[in-house]
Structure 1
Amino acid sequence: MGPLAAIRIRQIAFIPATMLSLTYWYTALGLWCTAGIIWLTLYTHFLITHVQPVVVLWISALLLGLGYGAVTCLSRFGTVVATLIYIAIITLTGVSLAYLFSSGATIFVIVGIMFSLNALFIFYLNISSGLFRPLIFMAVSGIIAAIVVNSLVASSTMVWIVSMLTVLVWTLITALEKSTLHGYARMLYHSEFSSLLRCALFGALTLYLGIINAVVTLCRYIILMILEILLSFRP
């Protein structure tokens, strides 16, 4: 292996700090928009007066299906299509959570603050996600944000617990999606049709949909497990 090839491999082994910072900003923006939709839906009493529970269940099912489908074939989309999908998923998430969990706005604000702080941290210190420090800072900053926000709005014990768990889960998802984000970084170096904006948007969608993808995968494994148990009782 020549020296230039070795430099090239080392160059794409880590996510460029600018791309990762922009990815976190897009993720934070999506989370804050979701919180705004939750608040707006609750403030206008739209779901309570106009929408039946079965409709919300259908919306939730559509959200899970759209989210899982978007994750599996995300790299095929262009920037405009990915943006429209992001907006649609944000809207569906906000409407669903406004009916299912009214305090979701507080939690999404907290996680959005966590990602925005990490975007600043990575941008100004020029640290890529190849190191563990950004993930440690993410968990710590998320917990601090949860303590501050929950104290300011006098959240219930349930919201405190859910917000802390959400911070930890999203930090774990970010760590698990590191290889996917590396793939988007390689697109910057190898593809003529990939821009920083497109790759960062893909990264934000991947992180935003991480929980949805985890829920769908968990449900699939549970269903398969139940089917195996039922089939084992067949004569």
Structure 2
Amino acid sequence: MGPLAAIRIRQIAFIPATMLSLTYWYTALGLWCTAGIIWLTLYTHFLITHVQPVVVLWISALLLGLGYGAVTCLSRFGTVVATLIYIAIITLTGVSLAYLFSGGATIFVIVGIMFSLNALFIFYLNISSGLFRPLIFMAVSGIIAAIVVNSLVASSTLVWIVSMLTVLVWTLITALEKSTLHGYARMLYHSEFSSLSRCALFGALTLYLGIINAVVTLCRYIILMILEILLSFRP
């Protein structure tokens, strides 16, 4: 093995701090844009008065499902296409949550703050390797952000609980998607057509859609559990 090959293997053994920091910034930006769309949908009343909620929810569920399926072939997309997919998913998520849970804007702001703090933490301290230290900082910073933001806006008890759970779930998703982010790092070093911004955008899409997959999976288990309970009462 030559020295250049050894250097390349060492480079892809961990995610570059610059790429991981930019991934978290893109994720935070997507979360804040989602919060803005929720707020606009709630306070302009345009969609609420002109569109039936059932129609919006069905279309959003369909497109969000298609959007999550697109993650498996993200590497085939260019930066422009991936950006358009990100914008579409952000918009659909914001509109859907405006009908489902008005406190979603506060929660997305909190998680966005969590990712932005971690982007700064990783960039200035140049920490991209390891698992526990960055994730512990992510969970702690998210909980602190939840306490501060919920206290400032006088959130309800439900928003407090959901925001804390969302912080912990998104931290867990980030840990589970570590191998996917490593794949984008390898793409950055191996493909001449991959740029830092493109790989970071793919990473942000993966992290953003991770929570959607978690919610869909949870709903599926709940539905199956309810069906099993109902079937158990059949003679």
TM-score (norm 2): 0.91
CA contact (8 A) 1:66 1:89 kept: no
Runs of 4+ deviating beyond 4 Å: 1-4, 217-235
CA contact (8 A) 1:15 1:181 kept: yes
- How many residue pairs match? The answer is 235
- 1:162-184 deviation digits (Å, cap 9, x = unpaired): 00000000000000000000000
Displacement, 1:24? 0.4
**Residues 224, 118 of structure 1: alpha-carbon distance in 2 compared, 3 angstrom cutoff:** same
Q: Hey, what's the Cα distance between the residues in 1 that align with 2:172 and 2:30?
A: 19
Moved more, 84-93 or 126-135: 126-135
Q: Hey, what's the Cα distance between the residues in 2 that align with 1:224 and 1:2?
A: 55
**Residues 219, 103 of structure 1: alpha-carbon distance in 2 compared, 3 angstrom cutoff:** closer
Q: Hey, what's the Cα distance between the residues in 2 that align with 1:230 and 1:106?
A: 36
Identity of aligned residues (%): 99
**Residues 226, 75 of structure 1: alpha-carbon distance in 2 compared, 3 angstrom cutoff:** farther
CA contact (8 A) 1:27 1:207 kept: yes
Displacement, 1:228? 10
**Residues 226, 104 of structure 1: alpha-carbon distance in 2 compared, 3 angstrom cutoff:** closer
**Residues 229, 73 of structure 1: alpha-carbon distance in 2 compared, 3 angstrom cutoff:** farther
**Residues 149, 63 of structure 1: alpha-carbon distance in 2 compared, 3 angstrom cutoff:** farther
Structure 1, unaligned runs of 5 or more: none
CA contact (8 A) 2:41 2:48 kept: no
**Residues 105, 190 of structure 1: alpha-carbon distance in 2 compared, 3 angstrom cutoff:** same
Q: CA RMSD in A?
A: 2.7
Moved more, 175-184 or 122-131: 122-131
**Residues 72, 13 of structure 1: alpha-carbon distance in 2 compared, 3 angstrom cutoff:** same
Displacement, 1:230? 11
What SS does the aligned partner of 1:73 have?
helix
CA contact (8 A) 1:59 1:96 kept: no
